[in-house]
C-alpha cells in the first residue's frame, strides 16, 4: 500500500510541474490598455522635458508627438482587429480545464497500461524469498549469494566451499577462489582438482608469482600423479624456480616437460618460450608467462579495486626479471614491492593491494615487514568483518601472527 501511495504522490508532483504553465495568470485586456497608456504618458513627458532643456526644437517635438500618436492609433486598431477575430473564433477550453483534464487522464491512462502489460496480481518477492526460490529460475549471482549465505551459517560445509571455489575462479575473484579451495581442501581432503584450483587461484591473485603455498600445492599434485605427472603442475614448479633465480633447476624442469610432451601438444610453444628466456634468446617484456599446460587462461592481474588501486608486479615484469642476474633480479623485485608499499601509504583503502604486499614480503622472506603490512591492512579495513576474516586467513596461510 505504501508503494502505491508513493507512486500516486510522484504522479501528482509530475502533473503539477507539467500543468503549472497552463495555470499561469493571464494578463487582462484592461491591464494591457492601462500599461500602453502609461508608456504613452511617459514618452510624451520625455518629449516635453527634452524641449524645455533645449535638446530638441519645437518642430522636432511636434513631429515626435505626432509619431507617438500615430503608434498609439495603430496599436488600438490592431487590438480591435484581434478582438473581432476572437469573437468569430470557436471558443477553446480554458487552461484551467486543460490542467484538470491532464491531472485526471494521466493516472488513469497509466493504470490502464499497467493492467494491460504488467503483472499486478503477482505477490511481492523480497530478497529472502528469492534466496529460497527455484534454483533453475535464479541467476548465477543469486545462486552464489545463496551458497555464501549458507556458508556464513555453516562455515564447516566443505561441499559448499567445493561448489563455490571454481565459480569464483571463473569470475576472476582470485582471492575468494583461493580461500574457497583452501577451505574445501581442509574439510574434504586433497584431490588433484582442488589442489590445481587452489594453486591457479593463488598464482593469479599474485599477478603470476608462484608463492610458496601455490608451489606446495603443485608439488603435491605431482606426488599424487606419479604415474602420469600433471604437466600444468610441473610448469608452475619450473616457473617458480625461474622466479626464485634457480635457473638450472628451471631449465631442467622445462626440458623434461618438453621431452615428455605428447606430439602436437598446444602448450609446447609456451614451454619453449620460457626455455628461450633462460638462454637469453628473447628480449624485452614480450616474454610473458603465457598459458601454462592445461590452464584455461594466462595468469593476469586481478581487477583493480578502486580508481587508484596499487598495482603489483605483472607477468611481463616477472618474465623480464627472469633475464637478470640474481642480484639485479632481487633489486628489481624489491623496487616493485617498494613502489607498491609507497602507493598504499597514499591510498590505504586499496585492500587488494595490501593482500599483495603482505604476500610479497612473505615470499621475499621479510617476515617483519609482512607482519607490519598485515597490521596496517587491519587498520585500513576498520570494522569490515569480511575483510578482517580474509586477513586472518592470509595470516594463517603465511604463518604470521594475528592479533
Mean pLDDT of all residues in 297-306: 37
DSSP assignment of 374-395, as one string?
HHHHHHHHTT-HHHHHHHHHHH
Chain position carrying cell 624442469: 253
**How confident is the model at residue 126, as a pLDDT?**
52
Q: pLDDT tens digits for 260-285?
A: 888 877 788 888 888 887 765 443 33
- Contacts of 173-178 with CB under 8 Å at 24 or more apart are 173/302, 174/201, 174/202, 174/204, 174/205, 174/302, 175/201, 175/205, 175/302, 175/352, 175/355, 175/390, 177/201, 177/205, 178/202, 178/205
- CATH level 2 (architecture), domain 139-279: Alpha Horseshoe (1.25)
Query: Is the CB of residue 323 less than 8 Å from the CB of residue 287?
Result: yes
Does the pLDDT value for residue 369 go beyond 60? yes
* Gap between the Cα atoms of 373 and 387, Å rounded: 14
**How confident is the model at residue 189, as a pLDDT?**
93
- Taking each continuous run of H as one helix and of E as one strand, the counts in the chain are 18, 0
* Gap between the Cα atoms of 364 and 337, Å rounded: 10
Is pTM beyond 0.75? Reply is no
* Gap between the Cα atoms of 146 and 143, Å rounded: 5
**How confident is the model at residue 74, as a pLDDT?**
73
What is the torsional sign of CA 261, 263, 265, 268?
Answer: positive
CATH superfamily of 324-398: Tetratricopeptide repeat domain (1.25.40.10)
Buried b (16+ CB within 10 A) or exposed e, 77-90: eeeeeeeeeeeeee
Dig out the grid coordinates for 148 from the structure: 555464501
Query: Is the CB of residue 398 less than 8 Å from the CB of residue 358?
Result: yes
What is the torsional sign of CA 345, 346, 347, 348?
Answer: positive
Q: Which residues contact 6 (CB under 8 A, 6 or more apart)?
A: none
Q: pLDDT tens digits for 49-59?
A: 888 888 788 88
* pLDDT band per the 50, 70, 90 thresholds, residue 185: very high
Q: pLDDT tens digits for 61-89?
A: 778 777 877 777 776 666 665 555 555 54
Domain boundaries, the chain: 2-85+93-117, 139-279, 324-398
**How confident is the model at residue 236, as a pLDDT?**
93
Mean pLDDT of all residues in the chain?
74
**How confident is the model at residue 286, as a pLDDT?**
32
| Topology match between the domains 139-279 and 324-398 | yes
- Look up residue 89 and give its DSSP letter: S
DSSP 3-state assignment of 226?
Answer: coil
Query: Is the CB of residue 247 less than 8 Å from the CB of residue 338?
Result: no
Does the pLDDT value for residue 18 go beyond 50? yes
Does the pLDDT value for residue 100 go beyond 80? no
Mean pLDDT of all residues in 290-318: 44
**How confident is the model at residue 183, as a pLDDT?**
93
Q: pLDDT tens digits for 209-227?
A: 899 999 999 999 999 887 7
Q: Which helix (H) or strand (E) holds 203?
A: helix 192-205
Q: What are phi and psi of 191, to 5 degrees?
A: -140, 160
Amino acid at each position: 500500500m505504501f508503494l502505491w501511495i508513493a507512486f500516486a504522490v510522484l504522479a501528482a508532483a509530475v502533473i503539477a510541474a507539467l500543468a503549472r504553465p497552463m495555470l499561469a495568470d493571464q494578463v487582462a485586456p484592461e491591464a494591457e490598455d492601462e500599461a500602453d497608456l502609461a508608456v504613452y504618458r511617459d514618452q510624451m513627458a520625455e518629449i516635453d522635458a527634452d524641449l524645455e532643456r533645449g535638446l530638441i526644437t519645437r518642430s522636432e517635438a511636434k513631429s515626435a508627438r505626432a509619431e507617438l500618436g500615430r503608434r498609439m492609433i495603430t496599436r488600438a486598431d490592431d487590438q480591435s482587429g484581434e478582438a473581432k477575430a476572437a469573437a468569430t473564433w470557436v471558443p477553446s477550453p480554458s487552461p484551467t480545464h486543460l490542467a484538470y483534464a491532464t491531472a485526471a487522464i494521466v493516472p488513469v491512462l497509466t493504470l490502464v497500461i499497467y493492467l494491460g502489460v504488467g503483472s499486478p496480481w503477482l505477490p511481492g518477492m523480497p530478497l529472502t524469498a528469492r534466496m529460497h526460490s527455484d534454483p533453475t529460475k535464479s541467476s548465477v549471482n543469486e545462486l552464489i549469494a545463496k551458497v555464501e549465505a549458507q556458508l556464513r551459517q555453516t562455515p564447516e560445509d566443505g561441499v559448499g566451499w567445493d561448489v563455490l571455489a571454481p565459480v569464483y575462479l571463473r569470475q576472476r575473484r582470485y582471492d575468494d577462489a583461493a580461500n574457497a579451495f583452501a577451505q574445501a581442501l581442509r574439510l574434504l581432503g586433497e584431490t588433484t582438482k582442488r589442489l590445481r584450483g587452489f594453486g591457479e587461484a593463488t598464482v593469479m591473485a599474485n599477478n603470476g608469482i608462484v608463492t610458496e603455498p601455490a608451489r606446495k600445492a603443485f608439488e603435491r599434485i605431482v606426488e599424487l600423479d606419479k604415474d602420469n605427472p600433471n604437466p600444468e603442475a610441473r610448469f608452475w614448479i619450473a616457473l617458480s624456480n625461474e622466479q626464485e633465480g634457480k635457473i638450472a633447476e628451471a631449465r631442467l624442469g622445462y626440458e623434461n616437460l618438453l621431452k615428455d610432451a605428447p606430439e602436437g601438444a598446444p602448450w609446447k610453444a609456451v614451454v619453449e618460450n620460457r626455455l628461450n628466456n633462460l638462454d637469453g634468446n628473447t628480449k624485452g617484456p614480450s616474454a610473458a608467462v603465457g598459458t601454462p599446460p592445461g590452464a584455461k587462461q594466462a595468469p593476469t592481474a586481478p581487477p583493480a579495486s578502486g580508481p587508484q588501486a596499487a598495482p603489483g608486479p605483472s607477468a611481463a615484469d616477472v618474465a623480464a626479471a627472469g633475464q637478470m642476474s640474481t642480484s639485479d633480479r632481487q633489486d628489481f623485485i624489491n623496487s616493485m614491492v617498494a613502489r607498491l608499499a609507497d602507493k598504499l601509504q597514499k591510498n590505504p583503502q586499496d585492500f587488494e593491494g595490501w593482500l599483495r604486499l603482505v604476500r610479497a614480503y612473505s615470499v621475499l622472506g621479510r617476515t617483519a615487514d609482512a607482519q607490519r603490512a598485515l597490521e596496517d591492512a587491519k587498520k585500513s579495513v576498520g570494522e569490515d568483518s569480511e575483510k578482517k576474516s580474509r586477513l586472518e586467513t592470509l595470516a594463517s596461510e603465511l604463518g604470521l601472527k594475528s592479533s
